[in-house]
Chain A
């Protein structure tokens, strides 16, 4: 191999590595997901209702995950302690700080029904592995929540 060929090979390798930076996976779900109970449920991540975002990585490494959604909780009048909790699962393992059972994403506002909407957001470091990876979001009601609302959601994995 000549110096020229070797240099070109290295250049192409470097270009390929640089091309890996950026968005690794994403999912957008327009419209509203409504659960009429506080029971834990997998959150749909796209318009087709898929609850798992799958992607592959050329190598293991830390990535960044951002999830945001319009959020509301239905609870009884006067109830401001009820909340919606999210657990973010990457490759089947819940990611800190969403691993606790009392980490609200949003809360009830003291009036019955779905209202007091807010766009909540979380960005966390996650560990990606070489090959196939999965992301799932589970939602659950806390305290006296009786319904959960997550709308117009956006999920992005990037570095």
Chain B
């Protein structure tokens, strides 16, 4: 049977661990991002140096929360309000749900040609972190008749 001090110490350690793990694990903020003239998939720049991978370490494996937001626009022919940009959020080399595939529009064309009708779109999703090194990449692509996509003023935060 544990004594009072032993029980108290166990609770203390549990509380300390929980406290130490809370907060921001990684972040990237950049006024740029990506502006393409083709619908081809492209990795979004996450900092001013052009890095497309955000790397961070975790003391232990566990679920984290990832939020990505960006000003978004799609260039498509006049009259086309269907074309869209989709994102794949890639954590440790694996695309995370619900961003798998290309059917998940982050923003869409508005029927006028050119990049306009900008909106700050956002997604928050749970991700699985690994003990040790982790990486995040954001892949964007145009769909349907998209002639180009625009993502800028990006903000990426991983936290718990």
Contact = CB atoms under 8 A, between A and B. Distances in A.
B118 A97 contact: no
Nearest to B69: A122
B15 A125 contact: no
Given A14-B19, A123-B67, A107 B155 contact: no
Contacts of B30: 97
B61 interface: no
B67 A7 contact: no
B5 interface: yes
Contact of A81 (B67, B116, B120): B116
Contact of A104 (B67, B118, B155): B118
A105 B157 contact: no
B97 interface: no
Interface in A1-42: 3-4, 7-8, 10-11, 14-15, 17-18, 20-21
Nearest to B20: A17
Interface of B: 4-5, 8-9, 11-12, 15-16, 18-19, 22-24, 27, 29-31, 67, 69, 71, 110-112, 116-122, 124, 152-155, 157, 159
A154 B11 CA distance: 35
Interface of A: 3-4, 7-8, 10-11, 14-15, 17-18, 20-21, 61-64, 66, 68, 71, 80-81, 83, 96-100, 103-110, 118, 120-125, 159
A68 B124 CA distance: 13
> What are the 6 closest A-B residue pairs judged by CB atoms, nearest first?
A104-B118, A121-B122, A21-B22, A14-B15, A123-B67, A103-B153
Contact of A100 (B15, B31, B121, B159): B31
Contacts of B69: 121-123
A11 to B, nearest CB: 4
Nearest to A142: B118
A5 to B, nearest CB: 9
Given A21-B22, A121-B69, 5 more contacts: A7-B9, A11-B8, A11-B12, A80-B112, A109-B117
Contacts of A71: 119
Contacts of B159: 64, 159
A110 B119 contact: no
B15 A62 contact: no
A112 to B, nearest CB: 15
Given A10-B12, A11-B11, A124 B19 contact: no
A118 B119 contact: yes
Nearest to A10: B12
A66 B67 contact: yes
B29 A120 contact: no
Nearest to B21: A21
Contacts of A7: 4-5, 8-9, 12
A112 B5 CA distance: 70
A120 B154 contact: no
Contacts of B67: 64, 66, 123
